[in-house]
């Protein structure tokens, strides 16, 4: 959970510091947003190959190694003297991310007491939500007062502490040594997994078309000040904790409700984003529902991947992580194009239109397949 916290803080911290990074290097915000796109696509490309290479590696050793790479890469981010150097350091973080999110949820589920797998998954996602509650706002605040570079250096220091905790507490656990490249086609033949992957890339593209540029949207379109934006980003994470609690107690009995709200909620919030800008309180309220919806999505779909891939779970999760990051990268790219071409205020409509395709796919294709199991 601690590791999930620091990895997610790092993944999304550029969103909270986008304007400052762009100003420091004298580039447009859409250009700085390419850092999000490149990061995500490196994860997408690297997840499956790296997981296949390290599938036989003992899990404790693998986890400690990727956290060490994460630390070194953040030190390089903190001393970056050019945007290209910052981009290269983020590629190092992306490689550690690619393996981390392939192994962390299956490892947590495997280590959990019998019958508590949903709770274990909820804890991992709680770590991610705490990143939104504490990590992202705190990192943004540090960046505002002492510079964005110090934010990356503090993340490196926090990761070093977590490395120590993992070294002391994490039990040895064998990797999936029986999974080979030859077994990959059989895994990919699963209709359920195919639909999960397809829906994920479409829905997450829609989500990040809007969310990648939420900081400048709240500032320039809604008119919220710097501290107010920090509070909104905090709320986005707080509702993720609430979602984790509800999920751990209710998902096994009502999976369809979670899946429908996850995709439908993302779609509705994006389509209403511009309308909500009429008042500060409506924008904040919309972000609360939006945060709950994306948390539902992350929990529900990771749970379905694990359930539909009892063998080769780490590899199935690596594919899922890669596809998820294709959506992040595509969303950031589409959002940047919308900002440059149509205007920042239209990111919600474009993202919502993409998410609407995902909702139709969910209702007509994904739900019937998953609920038959």
Q: What is the pLDDT of residues 325-364, one digit of tens each?
A: 889 888 988 998 998 889 999 999 999 999 999 999 889 8
Residue 130 maps to a domain: yes
Residue 339 maps to a domain: yes
Q: How confident is the model at residue 181 (pLDDT cuts 50, 70, 90)?
A: low
Is the pLDDT assigned to residue 179 strictly greater than 80? no
Number of domains forming the structure of the chain: 1
Q: How confident is the model at residue 186 (pLDDT cuts 50, 70, 90)?
A: low
The parent domain of residue 325 ranges over 2-368
Q: How confident is the model at residue 73 (pLDDT cuts 50, 70, 90)?
A: very high
Q: Give the pLDDT mean for 94-100.
A: 91
The pLDDT value given to residue 65: 95
Is the pLDDT assigned to residue 174 strictly greater than 80? no
The pLDDT value given to residue 373: 56
Question: What does the alpha-carbon distance between residue 264 and residue 206 come to, in Å, rounded to a whole number?
Answer: 12
Question: What does the alpha-carbon distance between residue 141 and residue 43 come to, in Å, rounded to a whole number?
Answer: 27
Left (φ > 0), alpha (ψ -120 to 50) or beta: where does 312 sit? left
Residue 67 maps to a domain: yes
Q: Higher-confidence residue: 128 or 73? A: 73
Average pLDDT, the chain: 85
Residue 55 maps to a domain: yes
The first and second tokens of residue 371, run together, are 């609920």
The pLDDT value given to residue 175: 53
Residue 235 maps to a domain: yes
> pTM score, two decimals?
0.77
Q: Higher-confidence residue: 364 or 237? A: 364
CATH of the domain at 69: 1.20.1250.20
Residue 172 maps to a domain: yes
Residue 373 maps to a domain: no
């Amino acid at each position: 959970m601690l590791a999930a916290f620091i990895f997610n803080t790092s993944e999304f911290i550029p969103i909270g510091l986008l304007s400052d990074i762009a100003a420091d290097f004298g580039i447009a915000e859409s250009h700085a947003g390419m850092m999000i796109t490149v990061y995500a696509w490196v994860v997408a490309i690297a997840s499956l190959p790296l997981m296949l290479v390290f599938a036989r590696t003992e899990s404790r050793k693998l986890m400690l190694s990727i956290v060490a790479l994460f630390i070194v890469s953040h030190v390089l981010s903190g001393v970056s003297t050019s945007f290209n150097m910052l981009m290269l350091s983020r590629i190092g973080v992306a490689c550690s991310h690619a393996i981390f999110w392939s192994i962390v949820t299956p490892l947590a589920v495997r280590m959990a007491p019998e019958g508590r797998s949903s709770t274990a998954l909820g804890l991992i996602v709680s770590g991610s939500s705490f990143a939104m509650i504490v990590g992202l706002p705190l990192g943004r605040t540090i960046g505002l007062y002492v510079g964005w570079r110090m934010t990356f250096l503090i993340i490196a220091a926090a990761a070093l502490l977590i490395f120590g905790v993992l070294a002391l507490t994490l039990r040895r656990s064998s990797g999936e040594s029986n999974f080979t490249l030859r077994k990959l086609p059989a895994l990919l033949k699963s209709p359920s997994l195919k639909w999960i992957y397809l829906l994920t890339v479409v829905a997450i593209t829609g989500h990040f078309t809007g969310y990648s540029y939420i900081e400048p949207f709240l500032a320039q379109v809604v008119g919220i000040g710097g501290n107010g934006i920090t509070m909104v980003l905090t709320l986005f994470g707080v509702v993720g904790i609430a979602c984790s609690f509800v999920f751990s107690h209710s998902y096994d009995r009502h999976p369809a409700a979670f899946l429908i709200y996850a995709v439908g909620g993302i779609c509705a919030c994006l389509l209403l984003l511009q309308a909500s800008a009429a008042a500060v309180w409506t924008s904040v309220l919309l972000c609360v529902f939006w945060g709950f919806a994306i948390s539902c999505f992350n929990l529900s779909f990771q749970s379905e991947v694990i359930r539909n891939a009892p063998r080769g779970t780490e590899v199935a999760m690596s594919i899922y992580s890669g596809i998820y990051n294709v959506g992040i990268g595509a969303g950031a790219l589409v959002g940047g194009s919308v900002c440059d071409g149509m205007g920042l205020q239209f990111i919600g409509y474009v993202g919502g239109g993409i998410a609407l395709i995902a909702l139709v796919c969910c209702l007509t294709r994904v739900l019937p397949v998953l609920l038959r199991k």
